[in-house]
Amino acid sequence: MAASAPSSSGGDPDPNSANLRPPSTTYDSWCGVAHGCTRKLGMKICGFLQKNNSLEEKSRIVSSFKERQSPKNLLSCENSDRDSRFRRTETDFSNLYARDLLPAKNGEEPTMQFLLEVVDILTNYVRKTFDRSTKVLDFHHPHQLLEGMEGFNLELSDQPESLEQILVDCRDTLKYGVRTGHPRFFNQLSTGLDIIGLAGEWLTSTANTNMFTYEIAPVFVLMEQLTLKKMREIIGWPGGDGDGIFSPGGAISNMYSVMVARYKYFPEVKTKGMSAAPKLVLFTSEHSHYSVKKAGAALGFGTENVILLNCDERGRVIPADLEAKVLDAKQKGYVPLFVNATAGTTVYGAFDPINDIADICEKYNMWLHVDGAWGGGLLMSRKHRHKLSGIERANSVTWNPHKMMGVPLQCSAILVREKGLLQGCNQMCAGYLFQPDKQYDVTYDTGDKAIQCGRHVDIFKFWLMWKAKGTIGFEQHINKCLDLSEYLYTKIKNREGYEMVFEGEPQHTNVCFWYIPPSLRGMPDGEERRERLHKVAPKIKAMMMESGSTMVGYQPQGDKVNFFRMVISNPAAARSDIDFLTDEIERLGQDL
Amino acid sequence: MAASAPSSSGGDPDPNSANLRPPSTTYDSWCGVAHGCTRKLGMKICGFLQKNNSLEEKSRIVSSFKERQSPKNLLSCENSDRDSRFRRTETDFSNLYARDLLPAKNGEEPTMQFLLEVVDILTNYVRKTFDRSTKVLDFHHPHQLLEGMEGFNLELSDQPESLEQILVDCRDTLKYGVRTGHPRFFNQLSTGLDIIGLAGEWLTSTANTNMFTYEIAPVFVLMEQLTLKKMREIIGWPGGDGDGIFSPGGAISNMYSVMVARYKYFPEVKTKGMSAAPKLVLFTSEHSHYSVKKAGAALGFGTENVILLNCDERGRVIPADLEAKVLDAKQKGYVPLFVNATAGTTVYGAFDPINDIADICEKYNMWLHVDGAWGGGLLMSRKHRHKLSGIERANSVTWNPHKMMGVPLQCSAILVREKGLLQGCNQMCAGYLFQPDKQYDVTYDTGDKAIQCGRHVDIFKFWLMWKAKGTIGFEQHINKCLDLSEYLYTKIKNREGYEMVFEGEPQHTNVCFWYIPPSLRGMPDGEERRERLHKVAPKIKAMMMESGSTMVGYQPQGDKVNFFRMVISNPAAARSDIDFLTDEIERLGQDL
């Protein structure tokens, strides 16, 4: 491991020498300036001065680099320059432009300095994200940001901006954004900032390749294959057999499941269209994610043919309702094709009873999909995986490591039990990509399984996190988040000013509750109370965002007025953050 | 701009003190070790030793950090430590794990050191990518990589690996990958490694957020809006009006165009399914991208109802063939819905005559989509944009900045002339995301336009590049790549051993040619020559990949046997690289 300290510079900058531009533009005078730098950089600059054609360009670029030093430092530190390549110099970026970076001639030094400056901005951001004294966000309305904030102008122009402005833009973009990794950001199912995952994404962007062929993504294609197999083993499919692909999010993964189900039962739809099939219906619960309906609309089923199933008070499908609706559809001449069971609903965090649903699917010969986008992560926990009991009977599973497992966005897998369906359903055998006469085993060219052509590399960050944490690391992460939500539930279930949206301990980290301000506490249930209560969560949320202290989601559900949905997927959160959230809700809501 | 030199360390490492572990584990003895470091870090370590509970954990972590120095350096360099946070120390990562990083207590120092080490790996990779003495790839067959290469094991395990192993994995992942930014990588439409775009992706991963709402991506949502408007202005839609979204690749963008066209003419399909519409047909050329057929299959039209249009010798649609096929379809009772015109075909780089096609679309009331995934970038060039003449008449346009404009993967836009269709077509109004009672203007919540739910932030890198290069920077990039392909075309069109696949100067950077080995040069045209020629490109390509010197694509097309398709989208390429490619083809192919 070649880890080594930076070296050979130090001391204070000489303010008088910044942006120094000698009047003469001869080679010698510039080389004189260059020699003022440390030995290696000076030699480099002199070297390129000798080769370079445009003297003005030289002047501009040379004058941008300067290392801080005093003669004393030169004497004491110059003996080690092997790491000088990894050393930030005091660079004047106001005089440098994108065109000065690689692949420009002599672009290496400005490139390295620019990237290190960016990394400084990013590592500062990372550091502050975990610092609870930092705000979660610095809220501004759209019109405010559009009007421009002190030097941060979103408009694009014909002429280039200097790298100094680009660095300012990077800082401002982060400043006016939302710190989704902050320990007090509870607004979404995907939260947290995993350092290994982050490193994985940085590497992925640097590799800048595409998943369609082994030819240009050999390592990533194999990582995807191995990781998907591991996931199928964890689901419980014998030998980890089956198929799968990483897709751009859970909605697309769910769409894949419907496509594959249709292809399995009515393969002629691929060539002849929906008119070749009988009238098909899909089933999913009223609490399930809207992406099943979206898939129904996109794929030509129609949203009216996505039949919503009733749920119990806890948001779990009532299996008898499924069977009744299947029989009803059949009676009306429809063919029941597909049932989606949700493992971890978006709002309540409910787990549908998969085994009961699987029985009905087997009885009526329907495809069983489990949408585990949110709850799939619980499979990694020996303590909690029983909530997905029966998942091994599914024909397909959506599982988003970017949610409960803390992998950076995006990372969503669609897993299919029967091999070959994904390929059969989607392949078009494009000659320019999937040549059969390559020198390697072309079964590793997995791109034709996808509805995409180019496909982003979503696997590496996840693979790297798995290596770094181990299966047990994910288990600990998940158990910790569930413990925290239990802490919140226990804390508020009998606390004055709180009402739970449903009875009993949540199955996932979703804790759904109303905060009842003192002014509403004595009021009898009725339309007025409902109307006023409906406005409480949005008002508190707005104040939270204005103050930037924390963020948590709210929504209505069925006939229930707006309530808070607390979710925890960030391992940076601690009990003190839960306490902070309830304190904040009470502080902001007490006078409503 | 706070750019400053690293400071306060230097000199050679003391090999004897690496991994030093004193036998005693009391606070004082550890603090003694810590004081051996520079002042600031030492104080930090002592500080956390006093707070920390587990002495063993302390020992393990403290012993991992060490700065290289001699007493002399301490004296001379210690006066400036304001940048010590941005200084790599000699860290023993073999004893550190993911669990030691943030959010772990005292995780900041290991986190920073780990990230800096990763950045060192990445900047080295960047540097080498532009170095022509570096290979484009280090080819291994799937079974070789699966068996494991000297310490690079792809298998995942239950237990965590040390950060040292994680860093090794990062290096090996890059080592066995393909350098898509290398000046001699010509294999795909997306090549190059833009430094500003790279910085943009690093920032995007660090921000780790999602495009569905303004609430959690305020800056990115506005950047997307402004950039899409700019793109629509460049297309030529009055006032830049219209709609659009960035999608996960050109295939999905093309799918959007078909969905939106269907919704425009037959909105009831959204709720009732394809059976509510008459039998619809789509038109696209035999040279167009396979994603139009893929969309036809997925959306329930059926691939047989995607009618392929004949092209001229150059790969451009013959408008009369479109009209004839429209009439034929109508006569058979089909309803012609949608025509795709390609601006820059995948293989030949051909531009369909948009104006002629638009006339026919207007005459028969069909939706006109322009697939400019590959050729859309030419709109940025005053010299070349005439090739897309008529694009302002399109109803929708696909345009992938990740291809000809050098933006890192992925960055693809679907642009729609009529406002409201995307939203109408896709919206499901999920209450948990798109609450109407938010405190800001919720028309900025654009997520419900998408078929995705979560959507990766693809805009920032593109916006940042536009800022940094200006419109004129993209123009120069594009002109340069087209000049290079003209150079190649001029060089080989009359050269012995080359045959062009089609006559005349290419419209885009695609140069399609056969290399004829000496053994085939005298042979009369016929089945034997065709069979042998068909094998030439795959053989040369295989040898190129084995030697790692360069990469270029090949494929058959229609009745034409395998030929090379050269494409240039990387501004790092120079004429010398074109010369290198032809030399390499001739060297590898001479004895075939």
ipTM reported for the complex, 2 dp:
0.89
Q: How far is A320 from chain B (nearest CA, A)?
A: 26
Confidence band of B79 (pLDDT split at 50, 70, 90): very low
Sign of CA dihedral B225, B230, B234, B240: positive
Q: How is residue A269 written in tokens?
A: 């739809």
Report pLDDT digits (tens) over B325-337: 999 999 999 999 9
Greater confidence (B185 vs B5) lies with: B185
Q: Please give the Cα distance from A254 to A376 (Å, whole number).
A: 13
Is B530 strand, coil or helix?
helix
Least-confidence region, from A15-29, B171-185, B266-280, B397-411: A15-29
Max distance between CA atoms of chain A, in angstroms, equals 93
Partner A contacted by B218 (CB < 8 A):
yes
Backbone torsion region of residue A68, taken as left when φ is above 0, otherwise alpha when ψ lies between -120 and 50, otherwise beta: beta
pLDDT digits (tens, 9 = 90+) for B194-215: 999 999 999 999 999 999 999 9
The mean pLDDT value for B47-71 works out to 59
CA of B362 vs chain A CAs: smallest distance (Å): 26
Cβ–Cβ < 8 Å for B288, B351:
no
Flag if B3 and A222 touch (Cβ within 8 Å): no
Q: Tell me, what's the pLDDT at A472?
A: 98
pLDDT for res A35? 39
pLDDT, one tens digit per residue, over B524-534 is: 999 999 999 99
Could you give the CA distance from residue A330 to residue A336 in angstroms, rounded to a whole number? Answer: 7
Q: Position of tokens 């078909």? A: B258
The SS3 call for residue B379 is: helix
With 0-12 CB in 10 A as exposed, 13-18 as middle and 19+ as buried, what is B587?
A: middle
Q: Which pLDDT value is given to residue B230?
A: 98
Question: What distance in Å separates the CA atoms of residue B298 and residue B587, rounded to the nearest whole number?
Answer: 45
Could you list the beta-strand ranges (E) of B145-256.
Answer: 185-186, 243-247
Dist. CA A469–CA B160, nearest whole Å: 4
Residue of A402, A406, A380 whose CA lies nearest to A391: A380
Q: Which residues of B touch A404 (CB under 8 A)?
A: none
Q: Is B18 on the interface with A (CB under 8 A)?
A: no
How many A-B residue pairs are in contact by the CB < 8 A criterion? 654
Burial group, residue A159, by CB count within 10 angstroms (0-12, 13-18, 19+): exposed
CA distance A431 to A414: 26
Integer Cα distance of B256 and B244 in angstroms: 10
Q: What is the pLDDT of residue A62?
A: 73
Q: Which of A84-98, A276-290, B268-282, B559-573 has the lowest mean pLDDT?
A: A84-98
Residue from B67, B156, B229, B258 to probe the interface with A (highest A Cβ count within 10 Å): B156
* Residue partners of B560: CB distance under 8 A and separation at least 6: B501
* Cβ atoms of residues A319 and A305 within 8 Å: no
Q: What is the pLDDT of residue A38?
A: 39
Inter-chain residue contact A160 with B470, CB threshold 8 Å: yes
Diameter of chain B measured on Cα atoms = 93
**CB–CB of B406/B192 below 8 Å?**
yes
How far is residue A415's CA from residue B14's CA, in Å, rounded to a whole number?
A: 52
**Is pLDDT at B549 greater than 60 in this prediction?**
yes
Chain A CB contacts of B165 under 8 Å are 467
Distance CA B37, CA A111 (A): 31
Burial classification of residue B139, based on how many CB atoms lie within 10 Å of its CB (0-12 exposed, 13-18 middle, 19 or more buried):
buried
Asked whether the beta carbons of residue A180 and residue B216 sit closer than 8 angstroms, the reply is yes
| Residue A225 pLDDT | 97
Beta strands in B158-259 (DSSP E): 185-186, 243-247
Q: Are A216 and A163 in contact (CB under 8 A)?
A: no
CA pair distance B560, A452, nearest whole angstrom: 27
Answer whether residue B72 shows pLDDT above 80.
no
Cβ burial of A28 (10 Å; 0-12, 13-18, 19+) is exposed
* Chain-chain contact of B190 with A210 (C-beta, under 8 angstroms): yes
Q: Which tokens go with B287?
A: 């040279």
Say which residue the tokens 């002399």 belong to: B72
Q: Does B133 touch chain A (CB under 8 A)?
A: no
Q: Are A152 and B224 in contact (CB under 8 A)?
A: no
- Interchain contact, A219 vs B163, CB within 8 Å: no
Residue B10 has its nearest CB partner, among A8, A112, A156, at: A8
- Give the closest-approach CA distance of B192 to chain A in angstroms: 8
Distance CA B166, CA B118 (A): 10
Q: For the segment A38-80, what is each residue's pLDDT rounded down to a tens digit?
A: 334 434 443 444 444 466 766 777 788 875 444 433 333 333 4
The three-state secondary structure class of A78 is coil
Domains of chain B are 17-130 (no CATH), 241-426 (3.40.640.10)
Select from B99, B169, B467 the Cβ nearest to the Cβ of A166.
B467
Q: Residue-wise pLDDT tens for chain A (592 aa)?
A: 333 333 333 333 333 333 333 333 333 344 334 333 333 443 444 344 444 446 676 677 778 887 544 443 333 333 344 454 467 788 999 999 999 999 999 999 999 999 999 999 999 999 999 999 999 999 999 999 999 888 899 999 999 999 999 999 999 999 999 999 999 999 999 999 999 999 999 999 999 999 999 999 999 999 999 999 999 999 999 999 999 999 999 999 999 999 999 999 999 999 999 999 999 999 999 999 999 999 999 999 999 999 999 999 999 999 999 999 999 999 999 999 999 999 999 999 999 999 999 999 999 999 999 999 999 999 999 999 999 999 999 999 999 999 999 999 999 999 999 999 999 999 998 888 899 999 999 999 989 999 999 999 999 999 999 999 999 999 999 999 999 999 999 999 999 999 999 999 999 999 999 999 999 999 999 999 999 999 999 999 999 999 999 999 999 999 999 999 999 999 999 999 999 999 999 999 999 9
The pLDDT, as a whole number, for residue B67 is: 57
Please give the DSSP secondary-structure letter assigned to residue B167.
H
- Nearest-CA distance from B354 to chain A in Å? 24
**What number is the average pLDDT over the span B208-225?**
97
Residue B576, chain A, CB below 8 Å: the answer is no
Q: What local confidence, expressed as pLDDT, does residue B41 receive?
A: 43
Mean pLDDT of B111-139: 97
Residue in chain B lying closest to A268 (CA): B302
Q: Residue B260's closest chain A neighbor by CA?
A: A298
Choose from A301, A437, A441, A554 for mutation: most chain B CBs within 10 A. Answer: A437
Angle at A412 (CA atoms; ends B420, B178), nearest 5 degrees: 105
Closest CA to A91 of A71, A53, A123, A120: A120
Helix, strand or coil, per DSSP, at residue A180: coil
